[in-house]
Structure 1
Amino acid sequence: MLYLMIMKDYIQIFEDFLKKEINYNAPANLYEPVKYILDSGGKRLRPLIVLYVSDLFTSNTSNATPAAAALEIFHNFTLAHDDIMDNSSMRRGKKTINSKWDNNTGILSGDVMLIISYEILNKYDDSKYVLLSKKLTETSRLVCEGQQNDMDFSLVKEVLEEDYFNMIENKTAVLIGCCYMFGGIVSDLNTKDINILYEVGKNLGIAFQLEDDLLDSFGDEAKFGKKIGGDIIEQKKTLLFIFTQAKLNGNQRVEFENIFFSDEIQEAVKINSIKTYYESSGAVDYLKNKVQEYSINAEKLINQMQIDTNKKLELIKFSEKLLNREI
Structure 2
Amino acid sequence: MNKFNDYIKDLNDYIDKYLLSNYPSNLYDPVKYVLQNGGKRVRPLFTLFISDLFSEKINNALPAAASLEIFHNFTLVHDDIMDNALIRRGAKTINDKWNNNTAILSGDIMLILSYNLLSKYKDQTYIELSKELNNTAILVFEGQQYDIDFSTQNNVQIDDYFKMIELKTAELIACSFKFGGIVSEASENNIQTLYKIGKNLGIAFQLEDDYLDAFGQSKDFGKKIGGDILEKKKTLLYILSKENLEGDEEELFLNTFNFSDIDGEEKIKKIKSFYISSGSKKALEDYIKKYYDISINLIDDLELEENKKNVFKEYCSSLINRGS
2:29 aligned with 1:32: yes
Q: Cα deviation per residue 1:2-48 (whole Å; 9 max; x = unaligned)?
A: x2x11111111111111111134322211111111111121222211
The question of 1:7 aligning with 2:43 is answered: no
Within-5 A mapping of 1:185-200 = 185-200=182-197
Q: 2 CA distance for matches of 1:19 and 1:230?
A: 32
Contact between 1:25 and 1:32, CA under 8 Å: does it hold in 2?
A: no
8 A Cα contact 1:24 1:31, kept in partner: no
Amino acid in structure 2 at the alignment position of 1:99: D
3-state SS, counterpart of residue 71 of structure 1? helix
Cα offset, 1:308, TM superposition = 2.3
Q: Which of 203, 226, 229 is equivalent to 2:226? A: 229
**Match of residue 212 from structure 1:** 209
Match of 2:52 in 1: 55
- 1:137 equivalent in structure 2: 134
Rounded Cα–Cα distance in structure 1 between residues aligned with 2:89 and 2:266: 27
State the shift of 1:93 in Å. Answer: 2.1
1:80 paired to 2:77: yes
For residue 205 of structure 1, give the secondary structure of its aligned residue in structure 2.
helix
Give the SS at the match of 2:288.
Answer: helix
Matches within 5 A, 1:114-125: 114-125=111-122
Name the residue aligned to 2:261: 264
The 2-side partners of 1:24 and 1:152 are apart by 40
1:171 maps to what in 2? 168
Show the counterpart of 2:250: 253
Bigger drift between 33-42 and 307-316 goes to 307-316
SS of 1:265's partner is coil
Could you give the per-residue CA deviations for residues 47-98 of structure 1, whole angstroms, max 9, x where no partner exists?
1111111111111010000000000000110011011111111212221111
Query: How many residues are paired up?
Result: 323
Partner of 1:316: 313
CA distance, structure 2, for counterparts of residue 248 and residue 174 of structure 1: 32
Inter-CA distance 313–135: structure 2 relative to 1 (3 Å threshold): same
* One-letter amino acid of the structure 2 residue matched with residue 244 of structure 1: S
Looking at structure 2, the residues matched to 25 and 54 of structure 1 have their Cα atoms a distance apart, in angstroms, of: 29
Gaps spanning 5+ residues in structure 2: where? Answer: none
SS of residue matched to 2:239 = helix
Q: Deviations over 1:156-178 (max 9, x none)?
A: 12210000001011111111111
Q: Distance in 2 between matches of 1:273 and 1:16?
A: 45
Q: Counterparts in 2 of 1:76-115, with a 5 A limit? A: 76-115=73-112
Task: State the AA in 1 paired with 2:188.
Answer: T
**SS at 2:309's partner residue?**
helix
Distance across 2 between alignment mates of 1:61 and 1:48: 10
Question: Please, which runs of 5 or more residues in structure 1 have no aligned partner?
Answer: none
* Alignment partner of 1:325 is 2:322: yes
CA drift of 1:263 comes to: 4.6
Aligned equivalent of 1:286, options 280, 283, 286: 283
Partner letter of residue 68 of structure 1? A
Determine if the alignment matches structure 1 residue 184 to structure 2 residue 181: yes
* Cα separation, 1, equivalents of 2:161 and 2:18: 37
Q: Is the Cα–Cα contact under 8 Å of residues 260 and 267 in structure 2 kept in the other structure?
A: no
Question: Which stretches of structure 1, 4 residues or more, deviate above 6 A after TM superposition?
Answer: none
User: Does 1:64 find its partner at 2:61?
Assistant: yes
TM-score for the superposition, normalised by structure 2: 0.97
Contact 2:139–2:167 under 8 Å retained in 1: yes
Paired with 1:212 and 1:271, the residues of 2 have a C-alpha distance of: 16
